[in-house]
């Protein structure tokens, strides 16, 4: 399999391949893209926007003599939606990670920062630091993992800031180079300092929203024939919130919901010069008390149900393992029994990437 496939490098830099991949050579990738996005929103109707973007991705990860690792990754994206007027978007990411041997275990530390000054095209301007500390115990075939995770989302132009704190417990089994299994559970707490609860008249009480969240996940990933990497994951969980809303009267527990999801990914290199990637997800949410409304805000008599689907495909070709010609497309849709909750989007981009 081509050792420098850029999509796998990008996933490694962001930590998705896990601690089994302890090191790789320093990498710097520059990409240029052009294409378009087609979308529909309830407020604006249908629209299409041409797009030009510049991407920069760099990283380094190295093992330490005692059996640990150190790593750094950074990425930046500047995009221009060629509408009238022109709309700019940006996204920046920085990740620092370390694995420190401790007896027969490994202490894992990670700090990261996601940021956008002008908005990233999907979310408004924001700053989100994340931090994580965990302990990994076990041998090469089976390991148990205990982690603490935290984050804070700051949005200067929105009132949806929140603090998250959580604990997770998981395990991984590596049966061979061709198969790895993982399973885990996580519970956490969210504090929303700018999202205030309402009283019976629909007025703010000044009391912030708080949520308890919990979830289970399981997954498989492996290698087929040395030329195809695949992964499959499933998750389910619960959100229990103090949030309420004033719609046809005061509606308590408006954000309480159950969810279940599936995600899958395949990376196939049928030829040294060609790489193909396909990723998809499905997520179903069942709201426990929130009413589904009609287009004129009348109660349908049913609780809200939302189904989200997404698919991304990418192909690249390289003559020399440095210059890559890339074609990428995506489809996403959100179905619900409330018209205000439905939307969809599609995009197609072509570009070039160069690995220094």
> Do the domain assignments include residue 303?
yes
Lowest average pLDDT, out of 11-15, 95-99, 125-129, 234-238, goes to 11-15
Give a yes or no: residue 55 inside a domain: yes
- pLDDT tens-digit map of 282-293: 999 999 999 999
Neighbour count for residue 43 (Cβ, 10 Å): 6
Instruction: Flag whether 270 is in a domain.
Output: yes
Of 8-17, 18-27, 179-188, where does the model show the most confidence? 179-188
What is the mean predicted confidence (pLDDT) over 18-23?
Answer: 51
Q: Cβ–Cβ contacts within 10 Å for residue 27, how many?
A: 19
Place 226 in a pLDDT band, splitting at 50, 70 and 90.
confident
Query: Looking at the domain assignment, is residue 106 inside a domain?
Result: yes
Average pLDDT, the chain: 89
Q: Is the distance from CB of 246 to CB of 203 less than 8 angstroms?
A: no
Residues 128, 95: contact at Cβ < 8 Å?
Answer: no
Cβ-based neighbours of 200, under 8 Å, separated by 6 or more? 250
CATH number where 113 lies? 2.40.160
Question: With 50 as the cut, is the pLDDT of residue 303 above it?
Answer: yes
Is 319 domain-assigned? yes
Tell whether 167 is covered by a domain: yes
Is residue 1 in some structural domain?
A: no
Of 86-90, 151-155, 335-339, 346-350, give the lowest mean pLDDT range: 86-90
Tens of pLDDT, residue by residue over 77-118, are: 999 988 778 889 999 999 999 999 988 899 999 999 999 999
- What pLDDT, on a 0 to 100 scale, did the predictor assign at position 55? 95
In this model, does residue 47 exceed pLDDT 80?
Answer: no
Residue pLDDT, tens place only, 149-204: 999 999 998 989 999 999 999 999 987 778 999 999 999 999 999 999 999 888 99
pLDDT confidence of 50, banded at 50, 70, 90? confident
Number of domains into which the chain is organized: 1
Asked if residue 25 has pLDDT above 60, the reply is yes
Residue range(s) defining the domain that contains residue 82: 6-355
The C-alpha angle with vertex 50 and arms to 343 and 93, in degrees rounded to 5, equals 75
User: For 177-273, where are the E strands, in sequence order?
Assistant: 179-198, 204-224, 228-241, 244-246, 250-252, 257-271
This prediction's pTM: 0.86
Q: Which of 111, 30, 98, 51 is nearest to 350 (CA)?
A: 51
pLDDT, average across residues 213-230: 92
């Amino acid at each position: 399999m081509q050792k420098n496939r850029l999509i796998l490098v990008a996933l490694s830099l962001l930590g998705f391949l896990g601690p089994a991949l302890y090191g790789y050579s320093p990498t710097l990738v520059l990409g240029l893209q052009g294409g378009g996005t087609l979308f529909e929103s309830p407020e604006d109707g249908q629209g299409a926007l041409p797009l030009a973007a510049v991407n920069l991705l760099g990283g380094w990860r190295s093992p330490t003599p005692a059996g640990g690792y150190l790593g750094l990754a950074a990425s930046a994206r500047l995009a221009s939606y060629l509408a009238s007027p022109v709309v700019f978007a940006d996204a920046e990411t920085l990740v620092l990670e370390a694995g420190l041997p401790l007896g027969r275990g490994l202490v894992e530390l990670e700090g990261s920062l996601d940021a956008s000054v002008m908005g990233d095209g999907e979310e408004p301007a924001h700053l989100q630091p994340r931090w994580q500390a965990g302990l990994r115990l076990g041998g090469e075939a089976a390991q148990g993992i205990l982690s603490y995770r935290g984050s804070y989302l700051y949005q200067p132009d929105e009132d949806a800031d929140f603090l998250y704190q959580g604990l997770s417990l998981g395990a991984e089994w590596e049966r061979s180079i061709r198969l790895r299994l993982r399973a885990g559970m996580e519970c956490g707490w969210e504090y929303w300092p700018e999202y205030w609860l309402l009283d019976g008249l629909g007025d703010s009480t000044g009391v912030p929203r708080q949520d308890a969240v919990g979830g289970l996940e399981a997954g498989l990933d492996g290698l087929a024939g040395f030329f195809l990497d695949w992964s499959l994951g499933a998750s389910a969980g619960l959100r229990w919130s103090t949030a309420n809303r004033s719609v046809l009267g005061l509606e308590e527990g408006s954000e309480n919901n159950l969810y279940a999801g599936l995600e899958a990914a395949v990376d196939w290199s049928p030829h040294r010069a060609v790489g193909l990637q396909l990723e998809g997800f499905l997520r179903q949410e069942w709201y426990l008390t929130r009413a589904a409304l009609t287009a004129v805000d009348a109660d349908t008599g049913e609780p809200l149900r939302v189904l989200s689907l997404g698919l991304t495909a990418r192909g690249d070709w390289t003559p020399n393992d440095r210059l890559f010609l890339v074609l990428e497309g995506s489809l996403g849709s959100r179905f619900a029994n409330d018209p205000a909750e439905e939307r969809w989007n599609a995009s197609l981009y072509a570009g070039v990437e160069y690995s220094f």
